[in-house]
């Protein structure tokens, strides 16, 4: 019959300071690893034109969102500018059980919450190549006042300290390179002996 490789999906958490380029890397990763499933967030923010329920977000009332928090249905959640955002647990767990790798692109605080519930996840920290480059990226958006840039730089410096809690560190100097590296991390994690035997203690007997 031949030996089976690891069938359960990996929970992959991609985080890092704001300005590291998480969004850009995630978009590029959809080309590089098309089989990767992206977690869909729940939010209390009203849908924008063209946004589709269950594709862009799960749209929830504040009451429904609060109920999800209370009943432990969110892997992580946070409040930004009067709206709540969170990661529904069921969506993620179902996809993992089906054997899909699931990617969560979230802020460091959210990642910290997920780590407590899913210690077996693969935690990848994306870093800017330098603080100067980070500043250039934040300023480059051109939408931020001088004070806001300083605030964001200060926040980024604090967020960088979270690197110590992650499994892998990816320096995002070139998006294509970062994508390849993340692809390799997923490939390698599926081959880890610990993971394979944890899931199937009799794996060797399949040979």
Annotated binding site for ATP: 16-23
Q: Is 120 in the site for its own copies (CB under 8 A)?
A: no
* Structure token pair of residue 152: 């964001």
If the CB atoms of residues 150 and 173 are measured against its own copies, the closer one turns out to be 173
Measured from the Cβ of residue 108, the count of other Cβ atoms closer than 10 Å reads 20
Is residue 164 within 8 A of residue 115, CB to CB? The reply is: no
How far apart CA 101 and CA 46 sit, in angstroms, is 29
**Residue 111, CB-side half-sphere exposure with 13 Å CA sphere:** 25
Cβ 118 to its own copies, closest distance in Å?
Answer: 17
Q: Which of residues 178-197 bind its own copies (CB under 8 A)?
A: 180-181, 183-185, 187-189, 191-194, 196-197
Establish if 159 lies at the interface with its own copies (CB under 8 A): no
Question: Which neighbouring-strand residues pair with 15?
Answer: 125
Answer for which of 125, 152, 159, 179 binds its own copies (CB under 8 A) is 125
Note whether 161 binds its own copies by CB under 8 A. Answer: yes
Binding residue (CB under 8 A) for its own copies from 47, 99, 129, 140: 129
Locus of tokens 């926040």: 155
């Amino acid at each position: 019959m031949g030996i089976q490789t690891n069938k359960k999906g990996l929970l992959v958490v991609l985080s890092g300071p704001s300005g590291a380029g998480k969004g850009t890397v995630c978009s590029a990763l959809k080309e590089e690893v098309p089989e990767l499933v992206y977690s869909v967030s729940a939010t209390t923010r009203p849908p924008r034109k063209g946004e589709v329920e269950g594709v862009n977000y799960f749209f929830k009332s504040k009451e429904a969102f609060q109920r999800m928090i209370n009943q432990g249905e969110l892997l992580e959640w946070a409040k930004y500018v009067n709206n709540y955002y969170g990661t529904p647990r069921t969506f993620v767990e179902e996809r993992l059980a089906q054997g899909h790798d699931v990617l969560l692109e979230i802020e460091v605080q959210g990642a910290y919450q997920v780590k407590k519930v899913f210690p077996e996840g693969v935690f990848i920290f994306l870093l800017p190549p330098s603080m100067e480059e980070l500043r250039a990226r934040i300023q480059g958006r051109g939408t931020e006042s001088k004070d806001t840039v300083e605030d964001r730089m200060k926040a980024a410096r604090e967020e960088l300290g979270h690197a110590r809690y992650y499994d892998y560190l990816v320096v995002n100097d070139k998006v294509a390179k970062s994508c390849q590296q993340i692809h390799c991390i997923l490939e390698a994690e599926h081959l880890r002996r610990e993971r394979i035997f944890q899931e199937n203690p009799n794996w060797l007997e399949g040979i």
